Amino acid sequence: MTTKPSSLMQTYARSDLAFERGEGAYLFTGDGRRFLDFASGIAVTALGHAHPHLVKALTDQAGKLWHTSNLYQVPGQTRLAERLTKATFADQVFFANSGAEAIECGLKLIRKYHDDFGDPKRYRVIGFEGSFHGRTLSTLAAAGNEKYLKGYAPNVDGFDHCAFNNLNEVRAKIGPETAAILVEPVQGEGGMRAADIDFLKGLRKVCDEFGLLLMFDEVQSGVGRTGKFLAHEWAGITPDIVSIAKGIGGGFPMGACLATSKVAAAFGPGAHGTTFGGNPLAMAVGNAVLDIVLDTDLMAHVNKAGAHLDARIDELLKRFPGTFAAKHGKGLMRGLKCVPEVVNTDVVERLRGVGLLTVGAGDNTVRLLPPLIITHAEIDSAIDMIAAVAAQAKAA
Ligand SMILES: *Cc1c(COP(=O)(O)O)cnc(C)c1O
């Protein structure tokens, strides 16, 4: 007898867990097991689960209007765009539904800008090893990760790659067709490595020198994750384009591409579009997220909680040198790199076994992505579970 194949395409190596509800930093299974969530749906549920302010914003909007399309004015879009531009370098915003789409918008804007106002020969974008920009054909090509590109040839043309944090390689790679540089201020999927502040400043200088646009992928690092609204703000530089997504919807799917007016001027009516992007439900939630991220002292909290997590990670590194080799990241976007003898995904699985949810990343790293509202006590509880798993591993 053959077993019936799953009705789902088998694109994910899922764990067997299924959750029924969430509250703050905790998730609960149907049979009542409780998990401390240091994955946050991969940096998405920035304000934890079932945040009352977000639930109210979504349910209020759900009773009024779900969708009209971009054929009409969407007041929630205007309000959210005004708040995002006030809080950032940007002058204009395009709303999308996901991270990949927000990046795709930026990539199209780069080409259109050079076609209209820059140098039409310029279309190539320099990206970096270890980066991740999404799973569409062009965002895969932008990141250049062979593991994800395999089987999807031919690759979308127009992308070159350099070693992360290596300004000399970037300079050497720039040619007459180079249009822009695309980089994550903190690489998420690649292993939580933060770009050096001097590297980011150097990229801005190089872009100015050669007439290139500087685009940041802040899909994971944005919306307060590192203790500033956008992570590149730590470097004190002004980008041309930034894409955000994960945290801005707090769990409702949405993305946004932010740009200066000089660059965004290349997008006129018909230049780009989406059916669902900027839909009233998403805008209601996005505005509710900003009520808390921008209009409360949440950033001060993230910096305090991030410092506490960092100090506790230092203790883990000292106590368990046979398990953890290094720490990476910033704020509440942290990575624990395992020693070569320990496989990160095994650690993630064993942590799940003791009630802590984390995410694997490249470079044999365990990602710690608690909600931004995480308390010191919850961080201590997570550290206890990590220590228990590391101690078990040592005993084994
Ligand atoms: C998750 C992620 C993306 C892709 O977002 P999707 O919503 O999955 O398309 C792009 N860039 C970075 C840095 C990400 O972490």
pLDDT value at residue 5: 84
Q: Determine the distance separating the centroid of ligand 1 and the alpha carbon of 249, expressed in angstroms.
A: 13
pLDDT value at residue 2: 65
Q: Is the pLDDT of residue 175 over 60?
A: yes
- Range 146-163 average pLDDT: 98
Question: What residues does ligand 1 touch, defined as CB less than 6 Å away?
Answer: 98-100, 103, 132-134, 184, 188-189, 217, 219-220, 245-246
The reply to whether 65-293 shares the fold of 19-51+297-395 is: no
Residue 349 burial (10 A CB sphere; 0-12, 13-18, 19+): middle
Q: Determine the distance separating the centroid of ligand 1 and the alpha carbon of 365, expressed in angstroms.
A: 18
Q: Determine the distance separating the centroid of ligand 1 and the alpha carbon of 309, expressed in angstroms.
A: 24
Radius of gyration of the chain (CA): 21
Indicate the top mutation candidate among 45, 132, 215, 242 to test ligand 1's pocket, ranked by most ligand atoms within 8 A of CB.
Answer: 132
2 annotated binding-site participant:
no
Q: Is the pLDDT of residue 394 over 90?
A: no
Q: In this predicted structure, which of 104-108, 320-324, 369-373, 389-393 has the lowest mean pLDDT?
A: 389-393
- Range 43-49 average pLDDT: 98
Domain 19-51+297-395 in CATH 3.90.1150.10? The answer is yes
220 annotated binding-site participant:
yes
The C-alpha atoms of residue 346 and residue 367 are separated, in whole angstroms, by 13
- Range 92-119 average pLDDT: 98
Indicate the top mutation candidate among 11, 128, 182, 189 to test ligand 1's pocket, ranked by most ligand atoms within 8 A of CB.
Answer: 189
Fold for domain 65-293? Aspartate Aminotransferase; domain 2 (3.40.640)
Q: Using the Cα atoms of residue 186, residue 192, residue 193 and residue 196 in order, give the sign of their dihedral.
A: positive
Angle at 334 between CA 182 and CA 226, to 5 degrees: 60
pLDDT value at residue 396: 62
Residue 28 burial (10 A CB sphere; 0-12, 13-18, 19+): middle
pLDDT value at residue 161: 98
- Express each pLDDT in 236-245 by its tens digit: 999 999 999 9
pLDDT value at residue 31: 94
The C-alpha atoms of residue 349 and residue 386 are separated, in whole angstroms, by 11
- Range 135-160 average pLDDT: 98
The C-alpha atoms of residue 43 and residue 231 are separated, in whole angstroms, by 14
274 annotated binding-site participant:
yes
* Spatial CA neighbour of 308 closest among 222, 223, 228, 383: 383
pLDDT value at residue 124: 98
Residue 78 Cα distances to 72, 74, 160, 363, angstroms: 12, 7, 36, 40
- Range 339-344 average pLDDT: 97
User: What residue spans define the domains of the chain?
Assistant: 19-51+297-395, 65-293
Q: Is the pLDDT of residue 1 over 60?
A: no
Q: Which DSSP string do the residues of 28-78 spell out, in sequence order?
A: EETT--EEEESSHHHHT-TT-BS-HHHHHHHHHHHTT-----TTS--HHHH
User: Do 199 and 235 meet the contact criterion of CB atoms below 8 Å apart?
Assistant: no
358 annotated binding-site participant:
no
- Express each pLDDT in 31-43 by its tens digit: 999 999 999 999 9
Q: Is the pLDDT of residue 393 over 80?
A: no
- Range 143-167 average pLDDT: 98
pLDDT value at residue 378: 98
pLDDT value at residue 387: 98
Partners of 161 in beta bridges: 127
Q: Which atom of ligand 1 is nearest to the CA of 184?
A: 13
Partners of 257 in beta bridges: 94, 243
pLDDT value at residue 194: 97
Q: Determine the distance separating the centroid of ligand 1 and the alpha carbon of 102, expressed in angstroms.
A: 9
Residue 186 Cα distances to 221, 240, 298, 391, angstroms: 6, 18, 20, 29
* Spatial CA neighbour of 327 closest among 309, 340, 343, 342: 309
User: Do 221 and 242 meet the contact criterion of CB atoms below 8 Å apart?
Assistant: no
Q: Is the pLDDT of residue 3 over 90?
A: no
Buried b (16+ CB within 10 A) or exposed e, 282-293: bbbbbbbbbebb
For the chain, give the mean pLDDT.
97
pTM score > 0.95 for this model?
Answer: yes
User: Do 273 and 26 meet the contact criterion of CB atoms below 8 Å apart?
Assistant: no
Phi, psi of 248 (to 5 degrees): -65, -25
Q: Which atom of ligand 1 is nearest to the CA of 245?
A: 7
132 annotated binding-site participant:
yes
